Structure 1
Amino acid sequence: LIQTVKLRLFLLLLHWFHPYLLTTSSNSFPSFPLARERMKSQYVTNICLLILCLGAANNTPWPLLIFLASLLPLLHHTCRVPGGSAWRGVPAAPGPAGWPLLGCIPFMGPLAHRRLAELAASHGASRLMALTVGATRVVISSHPDTAREILCGSAFADRPPKEAARLLMFERAIGFSPSGEYWRHLRRVATGNLFCPRRIAAQEGLRQRVAGDMVRRVGYEMERKGSVELRGVLERGSLESMVGSLFGESSLGREREEELVGMVKEGYDLIGTFNWEDYFPMGGLLDFHGVGRRCKTLAEKVRSLVGEVIAERRRGGLHSHVGLGEDFLTALLTLPKEESLCDSDIVAVLWEMIFRGTDVVAILLEWIMARMALHPGVQAKAQQELSACLGGAQRAVRDSDIPKLPYLQAVVKEVLRLHPPGPLLSWARLAVRDVHVGKSLVPAGTTAMVNMWAITHDGSVWADPWAFRPERFLE
């Protein structure tokens, strides 16, 4: 009699679950992450059955079993809102419901751009996809038109809060300051004193010296070990070039540069570490990886090192550095009084330039070298163009030679297309007001991301998007 009652209760539970469950053919197995999205209900069913079986085997009271087994499908049904629970009560673009409580956090791994591109395709939401990450409302664009609205529109003027970046950049850097007069002032200072054509031309000698050092370092490692650890050579060269532009040549010394290399690596590790505080209120209480503590420690090291350089520059006098070839630090210290920055702001700006300008350049150069090795025909064409430009002269390439090297420029563009730096998170914005993107409403406070990788691999935008073909930029 007891077994009969248990069986009847079991069948009743299955009948109760039925309205909330979706079935998937066992013969079809869609690609990840679409498989996970479609089979999520089957996972819920299996978990419920597991609870019932384990409970029966351990003589767990049936009322408790029924409560536990019913909790999962009810929670699953409650969270099945287009775009996830954060979009409840808000008209949302198409998108996955996500997991209860977690949303789409399981998709936000190292290859999040690929997984989210598959989700956008499966939901017909390439123009704009809504989703929930933890408790955060997010939209993702995988189409050029909506990406342009997000990246160029004034409604997305801010960056989403990211605790590691906020701590590492002292809340004062250009890329992480809130939109306003201070941010515009920093942009004007950087544009007029670091990225202007006059300043770039003045640094040509520095770039040639760094490039020569990199070539010699490669030759030395080949002679000594028979192989080259290319990433280290490129990181070192990128850092030397950036440090020379910011502080002047030979301003830091070998020991400080080595320390900066370690700081940059640790900073990127912290930025890439999952942090609960970015997605949940009071998430800082779940800082299992110690991201906040490590960021504060690293920020103090940066403040100490860069602060020492600023103090030394002030003590040594600024007159000897002023001129056409002056470095960025001297330019910052000699700004007119009405435009001047305090030392804390100068530290933040200089550290941001080092941090953002070192690893990205090194990774781009590494991809260029990898593509050249994988495509010897492309490498031969680029080498032939260089030889024709130099005319057999034994000299380094100058800035004035670049317009004469269209194929090499096309190679760089094609590498950037196939391997965009920061394919997803580097393009994040924050909606400062309610705005329509396409036909979809994006409420204020929504994080907006552009999946640049999905756009550069879109067959409707690029012919044969997976092929490495620099010639497409010359046609």
Structure 2
Amino acid sequence: MDSIQTLLLLLLLILCFAIWVYAVQIRHRNSYKLPPGPKPFPIIGNIFELGQNPHKSLAKLSKIYGPLMSLKLGSMTTIVVSSPETAKLVLLKYDQNFSDRPTLNAMRPFDHHKLSVAWVPVGNKWRKLRKICKEQMFSVLRLDASQSLRKEKLQQLWDYVNDCCTSGEVVDIGRAAFTTSMNLMSATLFSVDFAAFGSDSSREFREIIQGIMALAGKPNVTDYFPILQTADPQGIFREIKHYFEKCFEIFDEIINQRMQERGLPSDFPSKNDMLEALIDLKLKKETELNFDDIKHLLLNLFVAGTDTSSVTVEWALTELMLNPGKMLKAQNELRNVIGQIEQVQESDISKLPYLRAVIKETFRLHPAAPLSVPHKAKEDIEIQGYIVPKDTQTIVNIWAIGRDSSVWSEPDLFMPERFLEQETDFHGQHFELIPFGGGRRICLGLPLANRTVHLMVATFIHNFDWKLEGGLKPGEIDMTENFGLTLQKATPLKAVPFKVM
């Protein structure tokens, strides 16, 4: 009987909370001139408007309610930005007001939201971590110095594809790109390769990283109704915590081994990688860097740096195989500029305008982060005649901007040629193409991703042609997306390489 009474009391409390939330919603909505949006249902608001693919659902709604749109997601007010002009206001003109992040429940395990460079509020800690990343990993000087490492990993990719070419084996493009990206990151961070092509370890790491990205981007009812955080009805907190634990176990083992190596005689060969630089900084007391900071920074770099690049490469190869004429143009450019034998170098990218156009068009159609990482308003602010209230979650629909017919002619077609006719870059200055975001929270890894994505795509197509697995025709390629923090291809792209005659 006591358990029944407890359950009834709990239901009564939830009902009272729901009524209070609804009253606050109505009062809040009436006290501000919010941007237009669909009428919210009582209590739940517009949660059901999101659907399985929120980037597409929100793009459709923006055509009705405009490029600055408001939604109620439970107790959370959300503003959705869907045009280059409005994105420029939020990410550039009012960047300071929108530079913080909402505290999402999926980012709470191990206080990741307080320690992660991607999620920590703008302040001294964020500036310190951002400076470390730029100076130790993403500066032009550092990237130029690590070219030989990327050359080695790309040669391993070429060797793997060539072996499959000789044996007639099928290549899982996304998995091969993932293994290359992962080894690039693990070698840069730790001076080790985490996996070999076709290995079980590669599959395990891919499951961990893609699991984190899928859960981080999944609409979470506990963000909309904080009273449910302890219950975690979708299990998102528990699952992502499990993935974090797996990563931290790996990092702890590597860090402990590295600290032991540093205690060996001075003639023991030292490593020249990110971990070594971070430990050096940690031992300097003025940096106020601890091992928790290091592990969360490594988690950011490893997960985001691996997944986003491999996702983009798989979509680029998918579009090229879907459009054989575009594939031939990219291959001919490579063969004319580079030759048939030489490996593509980073210095060659500037000489390959069509390859660069292919990558830009892939970024436009298939941005790795379709809704970017959400922002949060620090104060009430007026934009385009409407009020965006303090603490409002603000989302930029990068996918919708890339498909906007008022910006792009024939927006659903893969047409790299459009970028041969106009000077549009993706470094946060042209807001019609912002796959890495913009403003002060622009993706720190952009300079590295720019190099690796171009080189991986070039490696796949330079000396090889491709036949789809099972005699599949280009028009039969499944283009279904799996939504998350990154936009995965639901059905892996698999093809057999053969040598170009």
Q: 1:93 — aligned with what?
A: 35
Q: 1:409 — aligned with what?
A: 356
The answer to whether structure 1 residue 211 and structure 2 residue 151 are counterparts is no
TM-score (norm 2): 0.72
Which of 104, 108, 111 does residue 50 from structure 2 map onto?
Answer: 108
Q: 1:160 — aligned with what?
A: 102
Contact conserved, 2:381 with 2:387, CA < 8 A, in 1? yes
Partner amino acid for 1:472?
R
Q: 1:303 to 1:388 in 2, by over 3 A?
A: same
The answer to whether structure 1 residue 438 and structure 2 residue 384 are counterparts is yes
Superposition map of 1:69-88 within 5 A: 87-88=29-30
Contact conserved, 1:84 with 1:98, CA < 8 A, in 2? no
Secondary structure at the residue paired with 1:352? helix
Q: 2:222 — aligned with what?
A: 277
Q: 1:359 — aligned with what?
A: 307
Secondary structure at the residue paired with 1:304? helix
Q: 1:454 — aligned with what?
A: 400
Contact conserved, 2:211 with 2:240, CA < 8 A, in 1? no
Distance in 2 (CA, whole Å) between partners of 1:290 and 1:422 is 23
Secondary structure at the residue paired with 1:209? helix
The answer to whether structure 1 residue 348 and structure 2 residue 296 are counterparts is yes
Larger Rg: 1
> What is the deviation of 1:272?
4.0
Secondary structure at the residue paired with 2:226? coil
Which of 381, 395, 412 does residue 329 from structure 2 map onto?
Answer: 381
Q: 1:118 — aligned with what?
A: 60
Q: 2:181 — aligned with what?
A: 238
Q: 2:498 — aligned with what?
A: none
Q: 1:42 — aligned with what?
A: none
Distance in 1 (CA, whole Å) between partners of 2:211 and 2:223 is 19
Q: Deviations over 1:422-462 (max 9, x none)?
A: 111x2410001111222211111000111111111112212
Distance in 1 (CA, whole Å) between partners of 2:270 and 2:145 is 13
Distance in 2 (CA, whole Å) between partners of 1:234 and 1:332 is 27
The answer to whether structure 1 residue 175 and structure 2 residue 123 are counterparts is no
TM-score (norm 1): 0.76
Distance in 1 (CA, whole Å) between partners of 2:317 and 2:70 is 37
Distance in 1 (CA, whole Å) between partners of 2:406 and 2:142 is 40
Which of 63, 70, 80 does residue 140 from structure 1 map onto?
Answer: 80
For this pair of structures, how many residues does the alignment match? 392
Contact conserved, 1:307 with 1:343, CA < 8 A, in 2? no
> What is the deviation of 1:384?
1.2
Secondary structure at the residue paired with 1:397? coil
Q: 1:273 to 1:168 in 2, by over 3 A?
A: farther
> What is the deviation of 1:84?
7.7
Q: 1:333 — aligned with what?
A: 279
Q: Deviations over 1:127-151 (max 9, x none)?
A: x111111210011111112112222
Which of 172, 177, 193 does residue 229 from structure 1 map onto?
Answer: 172
Partner amino acid for 2:367?
P
Distance in 2 (CA, whole Å) between partners of 1:269 and 1:251 is 21
The answer to whether structure 1 residue 468 and structure 2 residue 411 are counterparts is no
Q: 1:187 — aligned with what?
A: 130
The farther-off stretch of 463-472 and 415-424 is: 463-472
Contact conserved, 1:87 with 1:132, CA < 8 A, in 2? no
Distance in 2 (CA, whole Å) between partners of 1:113 and 1:80 is 29
> What is the deviation of 1:100?
2.4
Q: 1:297 — aligned with what?
A: 242
Partner amino acid for 1:210?
K
Contact conserved, 1:130 with 1:140, CA < 8 A, in 2? yes
Which of 353, 374, 382 does residue 428 from structure 1 map onto?
Answer: 374
Distance in 1 (CA, whole Å) between partners of 2:317 and 2:29 is 44
Query: Which structure carries more relative contact order (alpha carbon 8 Å, separation 6+)?
Result: 2
Secondary structure at the residue paired with 2:78? strand
Contact conserved, 2:220 with 2:236, CA < 8 A, in 1? yes
Contact conserved, 1:164 with 1:291, CA < 8 A, in 2? yes
Q: 1:37 — aligned with what?
A: none
> What is the deviation of 1:314?
1.5
Q: 1:255 to 1:114 in 2, by over 3 A?
A: closer
> What is the deviation of 1:341?
1.4
Distance in 2 (CA, whole Å) between partners of 1:364 and 1:274 is 23
Superposition map of 1:317-332 within 5 A: 317=262, 326-332=272-278
Q: 1:343 to 1:257 in 2, by over 3 A?
A: farther
Partner amino acid for 1:396?
Q
The farther-off stretch of 245-254 and 330-339 is: 245-254
Q: 1:321 to 1:377 in 2, by over 3 A?
A: farther
> What is the deviation of 1:411?
0.8
> What is the deviation of 1:346?
0.3
Contact conserved, 2:179 with 2:195, CA < 8 A, in 1? no
Partner amino acid for 2:412?
W
Which of 254, 257, 264 does residue 309 from structure 1 map onto?
Answer: 254
Q: Root-mean-square deviation (CA), in Å?
A: 2.8
Secondary structure at the residue paired with 1:175? coil
Distance in 1 (CA, whole Å) between partners of 2:339 and 2:162 is 24
Partner amino acid for 2:277?
A
> What is the deviation of 1:168?
6.5
Contact conserved, 1:86 with 1:136, CA < 8 A, in 2? no
Q: Deviations over 1:317-362 (max 9, x none)?
A: 2976768xx2111111112431251111100000111111111111
> What is the deviation of 1:398?
0.8
Q: Deviations over 1:76-101 (max 9, x none)?
A: xx9899x9886242211111113222
Q: Deviations over 1:12-34 (max 9, x none)?
A: xxxxxxxxxxxxxxxxxxxxxxx
The answer to whether structure 1 residue 201 and structure 2 residue 148 are counterparts is no
- The structure carrying a bigger helix percent of its residues is 1
Partner amino acid for 1:108?
L
Q: Deviations over 1:303-323 (max 9, x none)?
A: 222012112112112976768
